[in-house]
Amino acid sequence: MARGQRERVDRTTQVTRDYTINLHKRTHKIAFKKRAPRAIKEIRKFAHQNMGTTDVRIDTSLNTFVWGKGVRNVPTRVRVRISRKRNDDEDAKEKMYSLCTLVDVPSFKNLSTERVAE
Output the average pLDDT for the chain.
92
Q: Are 114 and 18 in contact (CB under 8 A)?
A: yes
Looking at the predicted structure, is the pLDDT value of residue 2 above 70? no
Q: What's the pLDDT tens digit per position in 40-71? A: 999 999 999 999 999 999 999 999 999 999 99
**Which spans in 1-118 are helix H?**
23-26, 35-51, 60-67
Beta-bridge partner residues of 77 = 22
Rounded to whole angstroms, how far apart are CA atoms 94 and 74?
Answer: 31
**What pLDDT does residue 7 have?**
67
Q: Interhelix angle for 60-67 vs 35-51, to 10°?
A: 140
Give the angle subtended at the CA of 113 by the CAs of 107 and 114, to the nearest 5°: 100
pTM for the model stands at: 0.89
